[in-house]
Amino acid sequence: MNKEKRKKVAVYPGSFDPLTFGHIDVANRALRIFDEIIVAIARNIRKNYMFSFEDRFYFLTEYFKNIPCVKIDSFDGLLVSYLKEHKYKNVIRGLRVLSDFEYEFQMAITNKQLYKDFEVVFLTSDLKYSNLSSSLVKEIIELGGDLSKFVPEVVLSKVKEIKGGKRV
């Protein structure tokens, strides 16, 4: 009866363009359920990113560097292909508003059809982040607004570098 406890691992996929406090909140709350989280950065060549893959990878590795149960990885193509390749089954998705659920539910059903072992855990965002999206953050960056309530210092530093030291 002395079975070794299997580690519960989940993948948290996304573009993280850029990393926001909403993403961080979801990852931290997922750690209450899972022993390890793999934050997997999507490399979608059809998507127009504001930040390079290298920047996005740096944001995540720098922010989570002192949390050993969070690993950073990346994937090309279908999420289910990545999951199968690494023998992962669990995925974390954050939900902010009702429209997020509709889209994520469709994706979950499709992924389940593509990979029978696929399971998704939806985590609703903390109310203080329910309005926060990477798209909104990118618009604030483009228009020179104050980002300090939305992104960690590692992102702020990069934006200041891009903007030539101007307040962000």
Sign of CA dihedral 58, 20, 121, 6: positive
CA 82, CA 78: separation in Å to the nearest integer?
7
Q: Is 86 a catalytic residue?
A: no
Sign of CA dihedral 151, 155, 157, 161: negative
Q: Is 15 a catalytic residue?
A: no
CA 75, CA 77: separation in Å to the nearest integer?
7
Q: Is 81 a catalytic residue?
A: no
Catalytic one among 23, 56, 93, 158? 23
Q: Is 23 a catalytic residue?
A: yes
Catalytic one among 5, 47, 116, 166? 47
Catalytic one among 56, 93, 134, 158? 134
Catalytic one among 93, 96, 125, 158? 96
Task: Compute CA distances 40 → 17, 89, 146, 147, 159, whole Å.
Answer: 12, 14, 28, 24, 22
Q: Which residues participate in catalysis according to the annotation?
A: 23, 47, 96, 134
